[in-house]
Structure 1
Amino acid sequence: MVVTTAMEDDGRSRRLRMAIAVLGILASVLIPATAWVLFRPGGPLVAQSQPAVDIGGPFTLVTHKGDTLSDQDLTGQPYAVFFGFTHCPEICPTTLWEMSEALKQLGPDAERLRVLFISVDSMRDTPEFLDNYLQSFDPRIVGLTGSEEEIAAVGKGYRAYWEKVPTEDGDYTMNHTASIYLMDGRGQFVGTIAYGEQQTVRMEKLRKLLAGASI
């Protein structure tokens, strides 16, 4: 028969409490804070849901045709948002060309997708200038502009970044976020298309967006 003393019991209790504390710390590190999880007895750790990322929001801007467009006009229709400017040397024309090709590949389904090009250079990108610039791309792409304050508010909602960078000739260029934001028909952010992403991946994401599937 094994006889335990009160001191031994106390030592075991302390070790048990320490073990539980260590496991708690590991769980807080290894389990993402953005996920809710379900522990099933004898089973694996199962992810239950992901809280929505707060990206997007209301806006009302002027199109390259001189009309107004708001987020309410897009209700029920998925859309893609890209922030850029017409004097962009590479990223913007490449992205707009790729999205033009994507719209062609989507065929009839492309009519259910809105592609928005929001200018971060409202000083130079008037509706007329945007209209001329976008003639080189798919006519279904909508250019949007507004005052600096209006564009800044939209950019804040999308967590987009840009800054004016002076050039040696006295002009300026713009550094800016190069990703495309994908929004569902409820105006909820569902993912991005990165600059330079493979065509097959880009098309898969757009088809999932149109189908209402997770990206």
Structure 2
Amino acid sequence: MTRLYALLAAVFVAALLGGAWMMTRGGNGGDKFAQCRSSQIAGGADTIGGPFELVNAKGETVTDKDVITEPSIVYFGYTFCPDVCPMDSARNADAVDVLADRGMSVTPVFISIDPERDTPEAVGDYAENLHEKMIGLTGSLDQVKAASKAYKTYFKKNEGDEDYYLVDHSTFSYLVLPEVGFVEFFRRDETAEQMAEKAACFISKT
């Protein structure tokens, strides 16, 4: 009977150590963010995001390394957008404030997909009016297309008046971490609080 107890104890300890080893190894295929992910991404998270080169509000050419220096919420829109962009960007700014209340510093980033009208000054003013930390970016059409393609976003200029045309575009927001890259996206129907809750999970694991 003593040997049986000893054997059972050994099995229990082995199982416990095995579980601890799996946790330290990350589990779930080594994805340390697995518990935070709310949806599956076709091809994996590493297929979204990547290097970009754009122009900031000062007219300076910057790269993703210059911009993503802390956890960031990235959004593609344009300053002439009548409704969707202002609401989404304001929601993203609110999420940044909710995270700040939790002690987590996050930067909102607005990338224009309308470089024809969105000069560095225009996109800079737009971003500053939405949040003091928001970074506004524009660039040449080729630069904007490259950034959009990296994040698998869509945009198309509508025909019409050369000054008052609209631009169709996707409306996802992206959580991007420095040295990691894209980790999660947020849909339009998610609230600032829901975004902050999800973002906090990823940030806490970096």
**TM-score normalised by L of structure 1:** 0.69
1:169–1:114 distance in 2 versus 1, CA, 3 Å: closer
Q: Given residue 67 of structure 1, which amino acid in structure 2 is its aligned partner? A: E
Q: Which residue matches 2:178?
A: 185
Aligned: 1:70 with 2:63: yes
1:76 to partner: Cα distance: 5.9
Give the structure 1 partner of residue 17 of structure 2.
Answer: none
The answer to which structure has the higher strand fraction is 1
The structure with more radius of gyration: 1
Kindly state the Cα deviation for residue 61 of structure 1 after the two structures are TM-superposed: 1.3
1:118-157 matches, within 5 Å, as 118-157=111-150
Highest RCO, 1 vs 2 (Cα 8 Å, sep ≥ 6): 2
SS of residue in 2 equivalent to 1:69:
strand
Q: What percentage of residue pairs aligned between the two structures are identical?
A: 32
Alpha-carbon distance change, 69 to 187 in structure 1, aligned in 2, over 3 angstroms: farther
Cα deviation for residue 204 of structure 1 reads 0.6
Letter in 2 for 1:206: A
The 1:52–1:203 alpha-carbon spacing in structure 2 relative to 1, beyond 3 Å, is: closer
CA RMSD of aligned residues (A): 2.6
Aligned to 2:79: 86
**Equivalent position SS for 2:144:** helix
Unaligned runs of 5+ in 1: 1-45
The reply on whether 1:207 has 2:200 as its aligned counterpart is: yes
With the length of structure 2 as denominator, give the TM-score of the two structures.
0.71
Residue 169 of structure 1: CA displacement? 8.7
Query: Deviation of residue 84 (structure 1)?
Result: 0.3
Look up the match of 1:38: none
Count of residues paired in the alignment: 168
Match of 2:167 in 1: 174
The Cα shift of 1:69 comes to 2.5
Question: How far apart are the structure 1 equivalents of 2:63 and 2:55?
Answer: 9
Counterpart of 2:182 in structure 1: which amino acid?
F
